[in-house]
Structure 1
Amino acid sequence: MNPETLSVSELNRRVKRVLDNHFDFLWVEGEISNLARPGSGHWYFSLKDDRAQVRCAMFRNTNQRVRFAPANGDQVRIRASASLYPGRGEFQLVVEHMEAAGAGRLQQAFEALKTKLQAEGLFDTELKQALPQYPAHVAIISSPTGAAIRDMITVFKRRSPGTRLTLLPVAVQGEAAAPQLAAAVGYANRYQMSDLPPFDALIIGRGGGSIEDLWAFNDETLARAINASKIPVVSAVGHEVDFTIADFVADARAATPSAAAELLSPEQPQLIASLRSTEQALYRSISRRLRAEREGVQNLRRLLKHPGERLQEQFQRLDDLELRLNLSLSNQMERRRQKLSLTRAHLGRLSPERGISQYRYALHNAMAALRSSMRLQLQTQGSRLGRTTGMLNSLSPLATLERGYALVTTEDGAVLTDASQTHVGATIHTRLAHGQLSSVVDSMSSETVNNKNE
């Protein structure tokens, strides 16, 4: 299997990718040599010590923040990332920060405090207070003898002469500066609670200088005092490239003290123009509102009628409703009357009188038929009874008795057919055709009487 073959450019790209992904930012100290500043604004130089050197590139967007002009032979401390320039295959450092080597200790302290306060949330945007648009009273915390205070006063007089300024004099450099700055911020907030006109904003700042000169504005106590201030604070320390802890904690940062004064002093001509524009807009709004209200009143006036006219309309409407009600009642009564007539006719057809008459006639016919049938039945049954009676008479013992026979029974009513059924001395009863005899047996004979037919 053939091994992968890379082009030189692909090799350089891969090595660059490894370097970019593997190394974080590094702090490196050394001496500048071979410094070049082409027209693009980028810086190219070597950083060396007594044993080795490395190529460095610092591009225009980052080298503009360097507060000194580097030269060959300067001892510097840089913060850079390790990379590779693919065009020549050269290892190089891409520099994003440069400082004189002597300022390294202060820079480390600055970065440590910055990281600490940022982690606590003192730099959060949510904590920033909005600056007043038209401040009437501004406190300036700065040196009374520096150029910064004169620049700020000049800007306020030119742009907003009506703004009241109060200087809170402090030292802005040296060991006593940081405590005085923090105390001045606290005093301004206590002054806010007095009977005197309150401060609408604070400016804390000074002119430019080295990192040592500006170090008082990197004090933790001052940072916490600014963060606790109830008055919006504008930080204006040094030049545009200078950054201090006060800049990060303040509600707004100005590149210079003069820029801070411009933030809090609306220019008078612009303010007048703005007021005029607002006045015109207000006039137009009021005019539109008045026209709308006038049209509304006119519409209401057209809708509003005299009470007498409205009463006449109501009377007329009441008469109309009365006529409609009477007509509706008449129509309803007529419909009810017609419905009643139809109901009566229907009830007449359904009246039981006709049925009763019919049933009475049918009952009369049925009774006549029943009587005729009963007479016929009685006649028939009478004839049948006569025949049956004749037959019964012919078969009845009574008829036999009429022919001279007698019916003899014992005392308890048993019919005697044999002499052996009684005894001498017994009482017997003889039933004749007419009457009955009782006798006592005095003799008995067992002779059989022959049948007449024998």
Structure 2
Amino acid sequence: MSPEYEAGFDVSGRLLAEERAGDNAPPLSVSELSAVLKRTVEDRFGHVRLRGEISGFKRAASGHLYLCLKDDNAVIDGVMWKGGAQRLPFAPQDGVEVIATGKLTTYPGRSKYQIVIDRMELAGEGALMALLEKLKAKLATEGLFDRSAKRAIPFMPRTIGVVTSPTGAVIRDILHRLEDRCPTNVLLWPVLVQGQGAADQVARAVRGFSAMQPGGPLPRPDLVIVARGGGSIEDLWSFNEEIVVRAVAECSIPVISAVGHETDTTLCDYAADMRAPTPTAAAEMAVPVRADLMAMLTEQGLRMDRAVRRGAAQARERLEMQARLMPTPDMLLAPQRQRLDQLSGELGNCLRHRVSDARAHLNQAGGALRPALLHQHLARAKERLDRQRLRPDYLSRVFRDRATAFDRLSRLFVSVNPDLPLARGFARVMAEGRLVRSVAEAQAAGAVLLHFSDGAVGADVGPRSTSPTLEMAPPQAISPSSRSSHKAQERGENRQQDLFS
């Protein structure tokens, strides 16, 4: 007998399972076993802290976080629900070493055990710096830190927008420094500068200033200062968040970053158009010194006054020199006076010569006006007038010729009138507004319109084979006398009255 059989195992290869005497282990379903394992794991490991590197990080549409924590030899799945994910002070990424606090449980759907994370922290300052360098390299690759994209700070902004805490010493230092140097309008957008939700508030404030339109209820800032006092890297971490860096880089208004003290550096400093070592230094960079401006304006005014006076003096000297070189009025008018005297002397002689010439011309013209010449010229004009007179016989002949031509045209018009044959019993056949000239055209049209002298009537035209035979009346002989009388009658009826009869 085999050992397996002696130990109570059935090795006979039975097809159906059967209850055996002494067997106190009834079979469990998969769900029951999974529930037992779940209770066992949760009771044994109710609260744990794990240190590991994030891998396979994924944020679901519902807001839950799914990831794996691994070290050199093992991997465990992890999940963080939406409520805990919203409270995270940093953005999880693959490769970041963290310490996760939560409880172990199982997921029966895949027969896996996992940790439900309640809180997650970076595993020391080294992990925090590694996350910072990774995010810095990513944003630098996208060009957010390019120097070519930096804008110049306005020389004297009328309105300055400040993004900082309303209760800290930073805003008081900025206002005090601005008051000392050059008073200007300040718009404060109060935000949290550290802790949960600080990054979202700072990014929303920067985007809010950028979205303001000129001419609105509040003046649009010409410059934005993002400021915070000094602190540890954890305290300043909100200004390293990607949402803040992108908001500063995309702002349409020049931005000065004044986060921390001189030795503190954040990613917000790289994205801003200018970095200030302290908030007070940011206020100094934002505006010039009013006293220096007044002194400079005074100096410039004095220099301008001296320049104007010097220019006027030089212009006066040049004018005096030019005046000495210019000729006097007597020198300018001397040639004209001499010319006037010369012309005055010649004027009398010219007038006498002109009168003599006119008298000679008049005598010559008067000698040509003799009475005989005038009568001869009048006779020739009378002959030309007689030739141009209109004779009545000539006009009568012209009128008769025109009347004869008009009579011929009238008779021709009557002879070509298409309605004249209709009075003699003829009809004009029309189809679709056109004249029908043949049997084929009439059959093709089908329906025709017959025009008589007293009106029109429609008719249907069938094929040649079905049309009835028309009997034609024998032609009647027409004597020449009757034909001529008929034509005379037509001419008498249609002839227009002669205008000259």
TM-score normalized by structure 1?
0.43
Q: Of the two, which has the highest radius of gyration? A: 1
